[in-house]
Amino acid sequence: MYRVRNIFFFWISLCLLVVPAIAWSAYFTTLTNSYMDSVLDRYFPQREYTASARITLHKPEVLLTQGASNIILMIPIDANIPGQPMRPGHVKTAVTIIYNPANGGVYFSHPRIVKFEIPGISATLNNSLHSDLDTILKTAIPLIRIYQLDEKSLNHSLVKSILKSYIIGNGSIKVEFGFE
């Protein structure tokens, strides 16, 4: 009888210690399309000057497709090419996200041009603008902080936390943070 009671108290004690640790070992948040749109309002439009043109990047449309591995940004652009009228177009860019534990920020990362189109320009100019846009996107997009993790949301410090995973759904991204 004594032994059964001791085993019972042992299991109860173990459950009281382990279950809260498991429950608090991860933090989840959901980033919706509308939330990301409001974040992008702060960063766009962006104007860049290159050797071939003055380029204006307008606010992207965020496309979150169920099961996709990348977030798609559809960015309308205007290219003011010397000696030509303003040329509108768009660039479709695939991005991922990364987490910086030093400041708790979640940022866009690894932008890659999937499709680039400005109708009515030569192939040489198209290649030049594509190269210019690739450089602009690789320097500008990773500066966009899309979420700020609050240390109060975690049961450990930001520095010890990592981005464990993110899952893209229709119109939202579910993000999980946890221990190193």
Q: Which domain holds residue 147?
A: 26-179
Separation CA 1–CA 144 (nearest Å): 63
For residue range 143-169, what is the model confidence (pLDDT) as tens digits? Answer: 999 999 877 766 666 667 788 889 999
Separation CA 147–CA 109 (nearest Å): 13
Residues 6+ apart with CB under 8 A from 61: 73, 74
Average pLDDT score over the chain: 85
- Full-prediction pTM beyond 0.85? no
Q: What is the pLDDT of residue 47?
A: 95
- Please state the domain count of the chain: 1
For residue range 1-30, what is the model confidence (pLDDT) as tens digits? Answer: 556 555 554 545 545 444 444 444 678 889
For residue range 125-144, what is the model confidence (pLDDT) as tens digits? Answer: 999 999 999 999 999 999 99
For residue range 22-60, what is the model confidence (pLDDT) as tens digits? Answer: 444 678 889 999 999 999 999 999 999 988 899 999 999
Q: Is the peptide bond before 111 cis (omega within 30 degrees of 0)?
A: no
In a domain, 16, yes or no: no
In a domain, 55, yes or no: yes
Q: Is 150 exposed, middle or buried (0-12, 13-18, 19+ CB in 10 A)?
A: exposed
CATH number at residue 34: 3.15.10.40
In a domain, 10, yes or no: no
Separation CA 89–CA 95 (nearest Å): 19
